[in-house]
A and B are shown apart, each in its own frame.
Chain A
Amino acid sequence: MTDTAWIDAALTSARPQAVGALLRYFRNLDTAEEAFQNACLRALKSWPQNGPPRDPAAWLIMVGRNVAIDDIRRSRKQQPLPEDEAISDLDDAEDALAERLDGSHYRDDILRLLFICCHPDLPATQQIALALRIVSGLTVKQIARAFLVSEAAMEQRITRAKARVADADVPFETPGAIERTERLSAVAAMIYLIFNEGYSASGDTAEIRSPLCEEAIRLARLLLRLFQSEPEIMGLTALLLLQHARAAARFDGEGAFVLLDDQDRSLWNQKMIAEGLALIDKAMRHRRSGPYQIQAAIAALHARAAKPDETDWTQIDLLYGALEVMQPSPVVTLNRAVAVSKVRGPQAALEMIEPLAARLSNYFHFFGVRGAFLMQLGRNDEARVAFDRAIALANTSAEAAHIRMHLDRLMRDSQPRGSRISKK
Chain B
Amino acid sequence: MGVININELTKDYGNGKGIFNVNIEVKEGEVFGFLGPNGAGKTTTIRNLLGFISPDSGNCSILEMDCFQDAAKIQEHLGYLAGEIAFLEDLKGRQLIDFIAAMKGVKDTSRIEELIEMFELDPRGKVKKMSKGMKQKIAIITAFMTNPEVIILDEPTSGLDPLMQNRFIDLILEEKKKGRTIFMSSHIFEEIERTCDRTAIIRDGKIVAIENMESLAKKRSKIYSITLNSLKELEAIKLENFDIVDIDGLQVSIKIKNNINEFLHKITKYEIKDLDIKKQSLEEIFMHFYGKDGE
**A and B: interacting chains:** no
